[in-house]
Amino acid sequence: MTTAEPASYHDDAALLVALPRDLAAFEAFYRRYVRRVTAFAASRCSCAADVADVVAQTFVRLLSAAERYDPDRAAPAPFVLGIAANVARDLHRRQARDRTLAARLVGRELLDADECDRINAAIDAARAAAALDGELAAIPTGERQVLRLVADGHTPGQAARRLGISPTAARTRLSRARRRIRIRTADTHGDRGAAR
């Protein structure tokens, strides 16, 4: 440090050294530097929300970084703005990662017809299996096997391969199992309605 340096330099350096342990020093330092950090962030950010994030994170990081501050090596302003630059860089990297991820997700093809059929079949079969566990015992074994496989997320074609039957046979069994469950459910609800 030279004798030509202003008194505020020494005051700011003293505040910066003290701020990890002294709330009053942190408040005073914040008041002195918040506009400068805001202007710095505004020159590197594209929206007010990002500026606010950079400013807030800069002062949060400053609390731990101040322990490493050496007044003989750097003036307070470059030290603080160096932290702000790192925060802004981290923000831009995170945003770039988010944009890349969003682009990958948007770039994926929509579900094709087979995938839609598989999802719908799995949802229907899972609902039927969960709601009618007792009813399943009355369904013939072959139909029950297809229904359980589809409820576990297999397509009818995959269920057919697992069971060693044709895809047409698997779809037929699945359709019959669903129909039996609908009939049994309707009979059960009808009996309840009659009992009322």
Identify the top-confidence range among 95-109, 151-165, 177-191: 151-165
The average confidence (pLDDT) of the chain is 79
Residue 149 confidence class, pLDDT cut points 50, 70, 90: confident
pLDDT digits (tens, 9 = 90+) for 74-118: 899 999 999 999 999 999 898 888 777 776 665 555 556 666 676
Average pLDDT, integer, range 31-47:
92
pLDDT of residue 97: 84
Q: Is the pLDDT of residue 2 over 60?
A: no
As given in the structure block, the two tokens for residue 41 are: 């962030």
> Rounded CA gap, 17 and 140, in Å?
80
Residue with tokens 């049994």: 184
> Rounded CA gap, 60 and 141, in Å?
65
pLDDT digits (tens, 9 = 90+) for 129-140: 555 556 666 778
3-state helix, strand, coil in the chain (%, to 5): 80, 0, 20
pLDDT of residue 140: 84
Q: Is the pLDDT of residue 38 over 90?
A: yes
Between 161 and 19, name the one with better pLDDT.
Answer: 161
pLDDT of residue 4: 38
Neighbours of 145 (CB within 10 A): 18
Average pLDDT, integer, range 183-193:
59
Q: Is the pLDDT of residue 5 over 50?
A: no
Q: Is the pLDDT of residue 186 over 80?
A: no
